[in-house]
Amino acid sequence: MVSDTFSNENGLSAPPKSWVITPLGEIVDFEYGKSLPELKRDHSGSIPVYGSSGVVGAHSIALVDTPCIIVGRKGGAGEVYICKTPCYPIDTTYFIRPSDNLDLSFLFFLLKSLKLGRFDRSTAIPGLNRNDAYKLTIPLPPLKEQNRIVTKIEELFTQLDAGVDSLKKVQIQLKRYRQAVLKAAFEGKLTQGWREHHTGLTVKTNEKFSNDAGGTTFNIPNEWVWINLGLVIESMKNGIYKLPQFYADDGIACLRMYNIENGKIVWKDIKRMTLSEKESDTYLLTEGDLLVNRVNSRELVGKAAVIPCNLEKCVYESKNIRMRFYKNMIDSKLVNYWFLHYAQTYFDKNAQQTVGMASINQHQLSIMPFPLCDILEQKIIIEEIERNFSIADEVVQVIQVSLKQAESLKQSILKRAFEGKLVPQDPTDEPASVLLDRIEEEKAKNNSTAKSGKAIKPLNLRGKV
């Protein structure tokens, strides 16, 4: 069936006259994936198993023994994948068999552009009803033009992907750069010149340093000294625990472990509590406090952030520890940078592990090693770290903009492709209306075969994928 009018529901302008507009259900069938056979659930083969999130394992048998398209039905509704080998789509997916009359890669790009996830009708578990997808009107070009479109899309996407890969490599390099800055800072290299002009600022302490926790003892300047962090901690306190009925929309803000990211307080998804005045005062966070996450997954436990100025009055929940320092001895910003540099290494060795979670305690924080220098030099170190990090932040922002632009450009390419503007039309191509007739005949034949109980023989791709 050919549509007399073009629906602009996908944001596309009318395609060339050699194309046809047709409901998606007229050219494809979404078949249900199947559960893996219980007796053969060995996951030992080389056949990729597809779920709604993509490849989820391997198997020794295939449900589809030709290339096909997989569409997420539950869990990842509307996600689209193309598999160019035999595969096994499980029961959270639909799959589309190849056709001699459709370029499978063209169909893949088309389905990706339709954003089928918008038809999710479920509540707890996302789900795609195939009948919603069938009703979509889509542009269908002649078969040879489908081939040309795919070639051009793949050429342009390859160029874009190469650029994206380069940007992502720079992102990784920037993470290494930040760690290199921190390493140099805590080895005294960022302030070596400053110390040469400010002699006599040697740190002295009567406290004996204990390295019982297995901490790092790399070389530091002669003017510095290794200490246990407890020497400069004025107080530590675990956060408050309250039952759900104490949470309220108009209560005092409570920072949770989710509000600590990359060494900073992130004001998002804020929960509020109804507390007494005494409780609020006891667990109040003030400028310069270091908030440390004490319970989390092993790679995240010990993340920390300094409470900034002008923050709304707030407390903190029980999975965090508040550390308050002697301000005449140490700047909490420098301790925070030390956590960014060293905490994961330290807590990997010292955190207690339970099922799925790791935890740290106040004692482990007290004996954590720290390279202490004079308070004046601490200020200079912080300035140097912030200067170097600001340069990295600017580069990160440029990369993030570029990555968004690359994704937008991909969408623009697909839009032009399905409007018939990406490659030129060839007047000698067989009209798409004739192609559509063949597709309908093929579907009718396949449906008849399926109703008779005979297996559908996989179609020959003739090298189109």
Query: Is 260 in contact with 293 (CB distance < 8 Å)?
Result: yes
Check whether residue 307 and residue 225 sit in a common domain.
yes
Check whether residue 255 and residue 300 sit in a common domain.
yes
Q: Which residue has the higher pLDDT, 13 or 189?
A: 189
Check whether residue 321 and residue 392 sit in a common domain.
no
Residue 123 inside a domain? The answer is yes
The answer to which of 32-46, 149-163, 193-207, 338-352 has the lowest mean pLDDT is 32-46
CATH number, domain of 288, equals: 3.90.220.20
pLDDT above 80: residue 22: yes
Choose the final residue of a domain: 347, 373, 399: 373
Residue-wise pLDDT tens digits, 370-400: 999 999 999 999 999 999 999 999 999 999 9
pLDDT above 50: residue 5: no
Q: Tell me 343's DSSP state.
A: I
CA dist., res. 149 & res. 432, Å (int): 14
Query: 348: closest CA among 300, 305, 306, 304?
Result: 300
Residue 2 pLDDT grade (very low, low, confident, very high; cuts 50, 70, 90) = very low
Residue 206 inside a domain? The answer is yes
Output the CA torsion sign for 20, 25, 29, 35: positive
Check whether residue 257 and residue 172 sit in a common domain.
no
Q: Tell me 230's DSSP state.
A: G
Check whether residue 117 and residue 266 sit in a common domain.
no
Residue 195 inside a domain? The answer is no
Choose the final residue of a domain: 334, 353, 373: 373
pLDDT above 50: residue 461: no
3-class state of residue 128 by DSSP: strand
Check whether residue 170 and residue 80 sit in a common domain.
no
CA dist., res. 259 & res. 280, Å (int): 19
Choose the final residue of a domain: 358, 373, 388: 373
Check whether residue 451 and residue 338 sit in a common domain.
no
Check whether residue 107 and residue 151 sit in a common domain.
no
Check whether residue 92 and residue 157 sit in a common domain.
no
Residue 47 inside a domain? The answer is yes
**pLDDT, position 449:** 64
Residue 196 inside a domain? The answer is no
Residue-wise pLDDT tens digits, 187-215: 999 999 999 999 888 888 888 888 766 66
Q: Which amino acid is at 133?
A: A
Check whether residue 343 and residue 227 sit in a common domain.
yes
pLDDT above 90: residue 263: yes
Which token pair is 463? 């090298």
Q: What is the domain count for the chain?
A: 3
pLDDT above 70: residue 6: no
Residue 77 inside a domain? The answer is yes
Expressed as residue numbers, the domain containing 46 is 1-142+430-465
The answer to which of 12-16, 31-35, 267-271 has the lowest mean pLDDT is 12-16
Check whether residue 123 and residue 6 sit in a common domain.
yes
CA dist., res. 273 & res. 445, Å (int): 65
Query: 433: closest CA among 192, 206, 143, 33?
Result: 143
Q: What HEC string does 233-269 produce?
A: EEEEEECECCCHHHEEEEEEEEECHHHEECCEECCCC
Show Cβ contacts of residue 31 under 8 Å, excluding neighbours closer than 6 positions: 94, 95, 96, 97
Check whether residue 136 and residue 251 sit in a common domain.
no
pLDDT above 90: residue 241: yes
Residue 365 inside a domain? The answer is yes
The answer to which of 346-350, 372-376, 432-436 has the lowest mean pLDDT is 346-350
Residue 197 inside a domain? The answer is no
**Bridging pattern class, strands 357-359 and 260-261:** unpaired
Q: What is the mean pLDDT of residues 130-135?
A: 92
